[in-house]
Amino acid sequence: MVIDFAPYVKLKTNCEACVNLLSEINSSILYNNSIIQSKIDNPYGCCEKKIKSINSLWIQFNSALELLEYERIEYNKNVTATQPIINELNEINGHIASYDIKDDYNEYLESIKHESKEREEFTEIKAEFEKVSQDLNELEAKQRNVKIALSIINHNLSYIFFSSERFRIEYKNNNYVLLSNGKSVCPSQISQGERNIIGLCYFFASILQNQEENIAYTKDYLLVIDDPISSFDIENRTGIMSFLRYQLGKFLLGNIDTRAIIMTHDLLTFYDSEKIFDELTDGCKSKYNINFIYKQYELKNKTLIRFSYKSRQEYTELLKIVYNFASGDVTHYNLIIGNIMRQVLEAFSTFQYKKGIDKISTDRGILDLLPDVYQTYFENLMYRLILNNGSHKLDQTKSMYDMNFFAVISESEKQRTAKEILCFIYLLNKKHLLCHLDGCRDVEQNLTQWCYEIKCNAGA
């Protein structure tokens, strides 16, 4: 039997007793084993030696081992009780270490204060730097956007006017500069129609703001364009309508869900728009393989109804509208009859005499074609119409005067003016007017009556 007594060496008394008893037990076991082996070797011989009993030794050994274990437990208790001493020693060592590093620690604290102050200053400087950088980036972005926007607007202007020099906008010294044929001009020096064109170009450029052009067109939009051609834009009609066709094509073909609405009081613009939508619906059908439709409406008596004059001659329709209004149908076109009457006069004077309506009141060659009794009357009538020549009159806009002369006169006065304009055309070219009013009721009878009433008023 082998037992390791190394952990008990400090417990000398009981440890030695256990070691001696264990040695004696092991010796007895060896002695007994030798007797047994000799008997095994000589089973027929006589064995004179006696086996030693180890029971008493074993009892003594267990008792000694119990005492040794008890002594070990007591010894370890005393060892555990030294922990307070260890704690005190550690505290002393801590104080010693504190004195050793006191100066270094104080210097460390001062460094922390200094570091904190420096960090605050750094944070402030960093925040200021980031703000300045952000402002700079925003300014650079705005400058880029200005350049991009001006590039788009100038491209659109050259598209409409068929010239890159007719109108340009440049950005100099934080100001926009408008150039007409290379010379700087003020907005007040250009016509209202030209301002409208610039506004139209800006409208389409603003949609592309902060977007890639190719991506912007792929988004869905609802485009609403009100009266793209005013009475001042007649000479640029082709360019404007071509530009609208180009831009609407970009948007409507770019996204299947994009929609567009064009509003106008001008029938020619309506027919031009109709051609544009005819082409674009065909283009959309080819691209998306879907049948697209567009609808036309007109405003009558404050109600939108389907437009019923498709494929008819505009000038003829305008004359018929004026005639029906003069005949008593004043509900449908009461709001816009003034514009329609001016368009009729403009078309008649241009086609017949290659002159605008502003020349009719002063051109004696035209007025002399009228019977003498009518000349003074119609000269005054034409001047009155020209003096209030349209809903977009520039001088009225500047003075904030009423935008529409015909909106402030009574219904009966509008009706009388419609009769007078028709009589004016009738007296100058009877055949012309009758042909265009073909299909209307009692045309010649009514015109004769209206001319007679004017003759009576002129004679009075």
- Strand, helix or coil at 328? coil
Tokens 């004359």: give the residue.
Answer: 319
Given this model, what pLDDT does residue 443 score? 94
Cα separations in angstroms, 226 against 270, 371, 398:
12, 42, 21
Given this model, what pLDDT does residue 390 score? 41
State the greatest distance between any 2 C-alpha atoms of the chain, in Å, as a whole number. 186
Amino acid letter at 438? D
Encoded tokens for 412: 């009966």
Encoded tokens for 109: 């604290």
Any idea what the Cα angle at residue 70 is, between residues 65 and 74, rounded to 5°?
Answer: 145
Distance CA 39, CA 284 (A): 121
Given this model, what pLDDT does residue 432 score? 93
Any idea what the Cα angle at residue 74 is, between residues 69 and 76, rounded to 5°?
Answer: 95
- Strand, helix or coil at 169? strand
Given this model, what pLDDT does residue 433 score? 94
- Strand, helix or coil at 304? strand
pTM: 0.47
Which residues have C-beta within 8 Å of that of residue 307, sequence separation ≥ 6? 270, 296, 297, 298
Residues in the chain: 460
- Strand, helix or coil at 368? coil
CA atoms within 13 A on the CB side of 157: 25
Report the run of H or E that residue 298 belongs to, with start and end: strand 297-300
Given this model, what pLDDT does residue 404 score? 44
Given this model, what pLDDT does residue 274 score? 86
Give the CA-trace dihedral at 177, 183, 188, 192, to 10 degrees: -100
Given this model, what pLDDT does residue 458 score? 75
Which residues have C-beta within 8 Å of that of residue 330, sequence separation ≥ 6? 337, 411, 414, 415
- Strand, helix or coil at 401? coil
Encoded tokens for 389: 């020549």
Give φ, ψ of 85 to 5 degrees. -65, -45
CA 405 to chain centre: 41
Distance CA 235, CA 339 (A): 18
Distance CA 28, CA 40 (A): 18
Q: What is the sign, positive or negative, of the torsion defined by CA atoms of 148, 149, 154, 155? A: positive
Given this model, what pLDDT does residue 233 score? 67
In the chain (460 residues long), the average pLDDT of successive 10-residue segments reads 73 77 87 86 81 86 83 73 77 82 83 88 89 75 65 88 88 86 89 87 85 86 88 74 91 92 83 87 88 84 74 76 88 74 84 77 82 83 57 36 50 89 93 92 94 81
217 φ/ψ sector (left φ>0, alpha ψ -120 to 50, else beta): alpha
Give φ, ψ of 297 to 5 degrees. -130, 155
Q: Is 251 exposed, middle or buried (0-12, 13-18, 19+ CB in 10 A)?
A: buried
160 closest CA partner among 263, 229, 250, 260: 229
Given this model, what pLDDT does residue 145 score? 59
Any idea what the Cα angle at residue 300 is, between residues 298 and 305, rounded to 5°?
Answer: 50
